Amino acid sequence: MRASSVDPASPTPAGSQGSAESLPVQSAAEEPEIGLAASLDPDAKTGFFAGTLAELGKVVWPSRQQLFSESVAVILMVALSAAAIAAIDRFFHWLSQLVFR
């Protein structure tokens, strides 16, 4: 039989890569269970809304000038795309009229 190469004083087993500062591993028994009863809890809804408001507080909102300039860019690109599609459609319509007369 071969002896194990695990050093009991070492924070990680021999041959594995990692640092002494690695995160502790939680077993499945230590994880909180979230079931139907927890989803029906009225505090769960307020926790959801509080979390949502906290996340909305982290959003970087655009300035008025940035909002205006980007809106103009979107409207311009949509108009140019619509004009290009209309021109291609008219060309193929004209071409089909010549072919199928």
pTM of the predicted model as reported, rounded to 2 decimal places = 0.45
Q: What is the pLDDT of residues 25-58, one digit of tens each?
A: 655 556 555 555 555 565 666 788 888 899 999 9
DSSP 8-state assignment for residue 2? P
pLDDT score recorded for residue 67 = 96
End-to-end CA distance of the chain: 91
Question: Rounded to an integer, what distance in angstroms lies between the CA atom of residue 94 and that of residue 73?
Answer: 31
Q: Of residues 9 and 58, which shows the higher confidence score?
A: 58
The torsion angles phi and psi of 73, rounded to 5 degrees, stand at: -65, -40
Q: What is the pLDDT of residues 72-96, one digit of tens each?
A: 999 999 999 999 999 999 999 999 9
Domain boundaries, the chain: 36-99
Q: Burial of 53 by CB count in 10 Å (0-12 exposed, 13-18 middle, 19+ buried)?
A: exposed
Give, in order, the Cα–Cα distances in Å from 44 to each of 40, 53, 59. Answer: 7, 14, 23
